[in-house]
Amino acid sequence: MGQILNGKELGQKLNLELKRKISLISKKTGIKPKLAGILVGNNPASELYLKIKRRTCDEIGIDSILVNLKKDIRKEALLDEIEKLNEDKSVHGIILQLPLPKALKPLTKEFIEKISPLKDVDGLHPINRGKLFDYNEDLVPCTPKGIIALLEYYNIEIKGKHAVIINRSNLVGKPLIFMLLKRNATVTICHTSTSDLESHIKKADILVVAIGQPDFITKDKIKEGVVIIDVGTSRVNGKTRGDVKFEDVFDKVGAITPSPGGIGPMTVHFLLQNTFYAYQNQIKM
Ligand SMILES: NC(=O)c1ccc[n+]([C@@H]2O[C@H](COP(=O)([O-])OP(=O)(O)OC[C@H]3O[C@@H](n4cnc5c(N)ncnc54)[C@H](OP(=O)(O)O)[C@@H]3O)[C@@H](O)[C@H]2O)c1
């Protein structure tokens, strides 16, 4: 029977600890951390994600602002908006909610590169990505940070284990490679062109799935005792589902994250943690 890696519970505990630290430092300095979220257009999922992030900011003492821009905003105007936030000393963290509308999507990299690396709390700026190459985890993407924190909290051994990641995105799979390597795992990364994906899945001691396909991982595909981190999210009949058929695999796994209630709350926590880190760094300057 598998152990449940309860990200909701741990996320709440870490949020409380962070709230205490923020309150102490804000009182001492008279400055509160502030996060700015840029939303281009009105994609309902993006609106919801930003709403959750801002609500949690509010709960733990981080100020937040929403910069809501029109779907057809010109490239230069969006770059100017980012620059304004870079220059605003009261703003310590900036997130550009992705994906951008179709017309701007091919320019995503350019917008990310415009965000000051000091305020890049999503950890996507090339400077922060480069630092991770050297195992520096100061500002790295929040989902992999949440995955590692959850594994470490539950004392799941990473060293010497074979970790298989199904995802190679900038937000999840790529940064996670370095974070697992740093902790001495052997890492295999899979994607849509991977041949014989099933043989890789079967060899995993730690399996991270982030593809957004409900019930993709079933009991017959996994090794006995595997630790599964289910990152993927999809909406099925109005409910959030992960990539793993939870009830099917549960008695075969060593440990597993539920979905919802696993990686989502850990991701939100590490956005706040990154904002706090960026704030501390900037108020020292
Ligand atoms: N819970 C959270 O906080 C959280 C945070 C981040 C993401 N997510 C979820 O995680 C999922 C991935 O997010 P993302 O932003 O990384 O998405 P993404 O950029 O679309 O990446 C998906 C990755 O999965 C791979 N993939 C898709 N279908 C596959 C298949 N059948 N077999 C093997 N590989 C497959 C893709 O391969 P290619 O590279 O070859 O296309 C790609 O690397 C989504 O469901 C998202 O909602 C959840």
122 is catalytic: yes
Cα 133 to Cα 175, 177, 280: the distances in Å are 8, 10, 23
Q: Is the CB of 187 under 6 A from ligand 1?
A: no
**CA gap 118, 43 in Å, rounded:** 27
Q: What is the pLDDT of residues 208-259, one digit of tens each?
A: 999 999 999 999 999 999 999 999 999 999 999 999 999 999 999 999 999 9
Q: Which of 34, 63, 97, 119 is catalytic?
A: 97
What is the average pLDDT value for the chain, to the nearest integer?
97
Q: What is the pLDDT of residues 124-163, one digit of tens each?
A: 999 999 999 999 999 999 999 999 999 999 999 999 999 9
Q: Is the CB of 105 under 6 A from ligand 1?
A: no
**CA gap 134, 50 in Å, rounded:** 31
| Burial class for 282, CB neighbours closer than 10 Å (0-12, 13-18, 19+) | middle
Could you tell me which of 140, 230, 74, 14 has the C-alpha nearest to residue 22?
A: 14
Report, as an integer, the average pLDDT of 102-110: 97
Distance from the alpha carbon of residue 18 to the mean position of ligand 1, in angstroms: 29
Q: What is the pLDDT of residues 51-100, one digit of tens each?
A: 999 999 999 999 999 999 999 999 999 999 999 999 999 999 999 999 99
Ligand 1, atom 41, residue with closest C-alpha = 192
Instruction: Report yes or no on whether pTM surpasses 0.95.
Output: yes
pLDDT of residue 285: 72
pLDDT of residue 2: 87
Q: Is the CB of 211 under 6 A from ligand 1?
A: yes
User: In which band, very low, low, confident or very high, does the pLDDT at 284 lie, cut at 50, 70 and 90?
Assistant: confident
pLDDT of residue 155: 98
| Burial class for 132, CB neighbours closer than 10 Å (0-12, 13-18, 19+) | buried
